[in-house]
Amino acid sequence: MERTIIKDIVNKIGQEVKLNGWVATRRDHGKLVFVDLRDRSGIIQVVGGDQLGDLKSEDVVEITGLVKERPASMVNEKIATGKVEIGLKEVKVLAKAEDLPFDTGSDDLNVSLPILLDYRSLSLRHLKKKAVFKVQETIISAFRELLTNEGFTEIQVPTIVPSATEGGAQVFKVKYFNHDAFLGQSPQLYKQMMVGVFERVFTLAHAYRAEPSITTRHLTEYLGLDAEMGFISSFQDLMDMVESLMKGIFKIVGEKNKEELNLYSATLPKVSEKIPRMKMREAQEIIFKRTDRDNRQEPDLEPEDEREICRYTLEEFGSELVFITHYPTKKRPFYTFPDPEDSEFTNSFDLLGRGLEWVTGGQRINNYQQLVDNIKKWENKPEDFDLYLQAFKYGMPPEGGFCLGAERITMQILGLENIREASLFPRDMERIDMRLPKKDGKKEKTSKKE
């Protein structure tokens, strides 16, 4: 008999089926024993007797049985297969599981974050934990689909690189034979170079940040959903693209991930007809008026400022997303295009959502000589950027791009408290799968706490 996938059982009432999967839970009710069987597509209740008695959670089994309609009083509306159950004929154990370190049977997996991560391949079997990555998968595939439809070409770029792009302090140095190399902080320079070839490109690139920070929103390795486009008429075009991308992603997640969103009682972010756009200095002014906190001379928004301005745009415009534009030149990398009206600021933006930065983007300098001068101004050597500069020497249109942090968006859509929950195997200062020992038995020093 061919295997049936659990979600297809609902169409097979009265038929005998063969199922493969894991024992999610077992409940003994005297002579009757109930097992919830889980496969990649869903969960189904199996009803049997002694034959099920020896099964334990996470045993891998093959079950044959009859698909039956459940009595009306026993219907479980919470799951897609809740109207049917399997009357057991035969069970075969394919692999036994050892005793579990925690109970996986509850609706919520109530274990601490370190345990959740230490037992990743087990904790992710829990429906709710697995759901995070089904949502992330949709975000990524929607990003791909939407940009492909807009004429973007997907490219693959290297992550062993010769220089830092986003500022020198945060790079991991790699010993590269007899030379130094770095882990890429961003596919930035490569995606820009490829604008000269394809006009519009995107890439899903792992990015590495050696920030010595332990926060709930930073990883040392994260996935950037990066895009870059040529022939922009102004940097507003880039925000228009991000705006339609975000709306498209929400729509597709809403259609594909209803069950996953329900598990977290999550609602998709509210977005106004047009996402509000305001300059960083305007945002600081608003924050000052609302809170008396005077950060009007600061070069960036503090985390509390980001939360406050999101509260404001939700109240005033009914939008949980807001674009903040015109960050100061000295806070942005060398490739950022200065605001023609005030060169202390740049044609750059962040998209904030629900109190946190989700996206960074901006227009780039596309004039060769201006770029060379800026590299020097940032105290770098143009010869270290030869390959990059080539692309500009031979004709680069006005261009710009952006990067969406995949884990941050997943976290924020589902309302997770810690970004580590949105990374399958998160890397941070204290963990690269194994927990890193502290130096001299002391805790590592951290520069940022939030």
Exactly one of 182, 190, 358, 385 binds ligand 4AD (CB under 6 A); that residue is 358
CA dist., res. 189 & res. 216, Å (int): 28
Closest CB to ligand 4AD among residues 294, 384: 384
* 362 CB-contact burial (10 Å; exposed 0-12 / middle 13-18 / buried 19+): buried
Exactly one of 357, 368, 372, 430 binds ligand 4AD (CB under 6 A); that residue is 357
Q: Are 135 and 414 in contact (CB under 8 A)?
A: yes
Which one-letter DSSP state was computed for residue 270? P
Tell me: is residue 404 an annotated ligand-binding position.
Answer: no
Residue 427 Cβ vs ligand 4AD, minimum distance, rounded to whole Å:
10
Binding status of residue 218 toward ligand 4AD by CB under 6 A: yes
User: Sign of the C-alpha dihedral, residues 413, 414, 420, 425?
Assistant: negative
Binding status of residue 402 toward ligand 4AD by CB under 6 A: yes
- Beta-carbon contacts of 85 under 8 Å, excluding residues fewer than 6 positions away, are 44, 45, 46, 47, 67, 68, 70, 74
Closest CB to ligand 4AD among residues 202, 312: 202
Binding status of residue 385 toward ligand 4AD by CB under 6 A: no
Residue 152 Cβ vs ligand 4AD, minimum distance, rounded to whole Å:
14
Binding status of residue 407 toward ligand 4AD by CB under 6 A: yes
Binding status of residue 269 toward ligand 4AD by CB under 6 A: no
Binding status of residue 422 toward ligand 4AD by CB under 6 A: no
Helix axes 368-377, 386-393, angle to 10 degrees: 150
Backbone angles phi, psi at 184, to 5 degrees: -60, 130
Helix, strand, or coil (residue 398)? coil
Tell me: is residue 217 an annotated ligand-binding position.
Answer: yes
Binding status of residue 361 toward ligand 4AD by CB under 6 A: yes
Residue 35 Cβ vs ligand 4AD, minimum distance, rounded to whole Å:
40
Q: Are 93 and 86 in contact (CB under 8 A)?
A: no
Tell me: is residue 273 an annotated ligand-binding position.
Answer: no
**Of residues 2, 122, 132, the one with CA closest to residue 58:** 122
Tell me: is residue 218 an annotated ligand-binding position.
Answer: yes
Tell me: is residue 360 an annotated ligand-binding position.
Answer: yes
User: Sign of the C-alpha dihedral, residues 282, 299, 430, 433?
Assistant: positive
Gap between the terminal Cα atoms of the chain:
55
Binding status of residue 21 toward ligand 4AD by CB under 6 A: no
CA dist., res. 9 & res. 46, Å (int): 12
Residue 287 Cβ vs ligand 4AD, minimum distance, rounded to whole Å:
20
Report the residue number whose CB is nearest to ligand 4AD. Answer: 405
Exactly one of 38, 209, 281, 326 binds ligand 4AD (CB under 6 A); that residue is 209
Task: Give whole-number Cα distances, 83 to 28, 75, 76, 202, 278, in Å.
Answer: 21, 5, 6, 44, 51
Binding status of residue 237 toward ligand 4AD by CB under 6 A: no
**Binding site residue list:** 166, 209-211, 217-219, 357, 360, 364, 405-408
**Binding site residue list for ATP:** 209-211, 217-219, 357, 405-408
**Binding site residue list for L-aspartate:** 166, 209, 360, 364
Q: Which residues bind ligand 4AD (CB under 6 A)?
A: 166, 186, 188, 209, 218-219, 222, 224, 226, 357-362, 401-403, 405, 407-408, 419
